[in-house]
Structure 1
Amino acid sequence: MMQDVVFLLKAAFLGIIEGITEFLPISSTAHLLILGDWIGFDAGQDKVYEIVIQLGSILAVMWIYRQRLAQLCVGTLKRERADLLFVRNLLLAFLPAAIIGLILIKYIKQLLDGQFIVYAITLVLGGLIMLWVESRPGMSKHSTANDIENSGQTTKIEDISIGQALTVGFAQCLAMIPGTSRSGATIIAGMFAGIHRKTATEFSFFLAMPTMIAATVLSLYKYGGQLTQSNLLAVAIGFVMAFLSSLVVVRALLAFVSRYSYRPFAWYRIIFGLIVAAWVYNLV
């Protein structure tokens, strides 16, 4: 009995970790697999656990933006220009991962999945790239609306250009490499392409919706049979905890990037990556 309780507590803990890390630029997959290994979590066929709790996170962000999504649907049907441009940009950014992902994801997983040193390398490398992008001219935080407007950065998703949308879309393909972070790749690519930090973050959230839903449907088709009565409760608990923690994190992140840069997350990636590397080589 006590063993079952501990198992469910581990499932809840990893659900919280998923909700916290899914939309932060620090790689949710790296945290789930590495921390899961450290605490000895084994859901049997745990692939389905990872898939379902990720769905909890994406449903949370859809809930937060439910009014904007409803407005977007209505505006698109009415052929409102701003909403049509919004949808166009999402489709353009979604297509590269949809096409390239279908072709390469199987081979990338076979080559790199479970290689913890790859997570360490990509965590550190991603952190260094993040620091570089944040250090570029024009990347400093802007305290007033006039400062933001005068910076020349794109501040509305509907104003994102075709080139900017495709840049974000191709960057999202990098998330197929373990430890890269889908949100990190898309946000930093957006900033590099001239999209304002907060706008790039929101665009990443919206882009996550079709991307992660498509990935979840495909994965459930492949691994849905692993969902059994023995792991159903653990999966359900992880799903709920991921949903609830994502509700908190998404709102907090938007408030944070309105005032600060992504440098703290960059340094976190570097430190965590070095810890993982030390663990891989039995130095800790």
Structure 2
Amino acid sequence: MNKIITAIILGIIEGFTEFLPISSTGHLIIANQWFNLEGSFGNMFNVVIQLGAILSVVIYFHDKLIPFSGNKTIRQRRDIWRLWKKTAVGVIPALVLGALFADLIEEYLFNPYTVAIALVVGGIILIWMESRRKSYRINYLEELRYGTVFLIGIFQCLAMVPGTSRSAATIIGAMALGASRNVAAEFSFFLAIPTMAAASGYSLLKSATMMTGEQWMLLAVGFIVSFFVALVVISMFMGYIRRKDFKPFGYYRIILGILILVLLR
């Protein structure tokens, strides 16, 4: 298969799955079993194109994330800077654990079996969380405290296991700590910005000097495609969670995980 077409397909998969609680990395690992971007470049490609999807968050939520607009009040700018500070606190656990264990995780856990098991377990937890009687005490981003966002950051570390889903881990963690579904989803998106920027930068630095011109082109294609697809998905997803819960994503995870285990036999 033409490698550019492969990069486009993987970019679509990344953009579509990055912000849904179904694991973009897991889907990319599975997809790479049939496409021709395997090996160390394939793993790096899967990580770096996530930055394209993350950039779409900044564009979609620019009014909540960029404090420099001239029509913002002093209080609004202060709130935005406070949100960035909380995001920085939330990313600390992932930065520390990622620096210590990223290579080991990539070597031993980036495989379809791990993805399948993580999909099923995460799906069960997601359905259980949504089945509980809920009483949210955090209904606005401004109500998130520094201690709470640090704990959400610890939950995010579970996503280092491929198939867990960074989005699912942070959303489940935030909801378990009392955040509403909407707040949990939004903060999950914001937390992705420094997390995935750091992961992509680290992965790119390790491989940049060894990449060919063709590989740079494939990376650019995957990056751009994931950006535009993710921009559309974020808009649809935010509309969805205002009306419905995450149970369908839980069922999808379980079905996909079981299907993968059956096909791998």
TM-score if structure 2 supplies the norm length?
0.91
Distance (whole Å) between structure 1 residues aligned to residue 250 and residue 110 of structure 2: 23
Partner of 2:101: 104
Distance (whole Å) between structure 1 residues aligned to residue 171 and residue 257 of structure 2: 20
| 1:90 aligns with one of 87, 90, 93 | 87
Which deviates further from its counterpart, 208-217 or 91-100? 91-100
Contact 2:7–2:219 (Cα < 8 Å) also in 1: yes
Distance (whole Å) between structure 2 residues aligned to residue 179 and residue 43 of structure 1: 17
SS of 2:22's partner is coil
Contact 1:47–1:223 (Cα < 8 Å) also in 2: no
Alpha-carbon shift at residue 21 of structure 1 (Å): 0.5
Report the number of matched residues: 263
Identity of aligned residues (%): 39
Answering whether residue 64 of structure 2 is matched by residue 68 of structure 1, we say yes
Alpha-carbon shift at residue 80 of structure 1 (Å): 5.9
Partner of 1:269: 253
CA spacing shift, 1:219–1:174, aligned 2, 3 Å = same
Q: RMSD of the alignment, in Å?
A: 2.3
Contact 1:89–1:158 (Cα < 8 Å) also in 2: no
Alpha-carbon shift at residue 103 of structure 1 (Å): 1.6
| 2:36 aligns with one of 36, 41, 49 | 41
Partner of 1:9: 5
Following superposition of structure 1 onto structure 2, how do residues 170-209 of structure 1 map, counting pairs within 5 Å?
A: 170-209=154-193
SS of 1:195's partner is coil
- Structure with greater Cα Rg: 1
Alpha-carbon shift at residue 106 of structure 1 (Å): 2.4
Contact 1:15–1:242 (Cα < 8 Å) also in 2: yes
| 1:245 aligns with one of 224, 229, 243 | 229
Distance (whole Å) between structure 2 residues aligned to residue 54 and residue 269 of structure 1: 20
Q: In structure 1, list runs of 5 or more residues that go unmatched.
A: 139-150
Partner of 2:46: 50
SS of 1:46's partner is helix
Alpha-carbon shift at residue 9 of structure 1 (Å): 1.6
Which deviates further from its counterpart, 233-242 or 178-187? 233-242
Distance (whole Å) between structure 1 residues aligned to residue 199 and residue 12 of structure 2: 21
Distance (whole Å) between structure 1 residues aligned to residue 162 and residue 168 of structure 2: 12
Contact 2:14–2:226 (Cα < 8 Å) also in 1: yes
Alpha-carbon shift at residue 35 of structure 1 (Å): 1.5
SS of 2:33's partner is helix
Which deviates further from its counterpart, 59-68 or 182-191? 59-68
Alpha-carbon shift at residue 55 of structure 1 (Å): 1.6
SS of 2:66's partner is helix
1:77-125 Cα distance to aligned partner (Å, 9 max, x none): 98965345423321221111111221222222233222x2111110000
Contact 2:113–2:261 (Cα < 8 Å) also in 1: yes
Alpha-carbon shift at residue 268 of structure 1 (Å): 0.5
Alpha-carbon shift at residue 14 of structure 1 (Å): 1.0
CA spacing shift, 1:226–1:249, aligned 2, 3 Å = farther
Partner of 2:16: 20
CA spacing shift, 1:170–1:76, aligned 2, 3 Å = farther
Answering whether residue 121 of structure 2 is matched by residue 125 of structure 1, we say yes
- Equivalent AA in structure 2 for residue 134 of structure 1: E
Partner of 2:110: 113
1:230-252 Cα distance to aligned partner (Å, 9 max, x none): 23332222112101100001111
Distance (whole Å) between structure 2 residues aligned to residue 46 and residue 274 of structure 1: 24
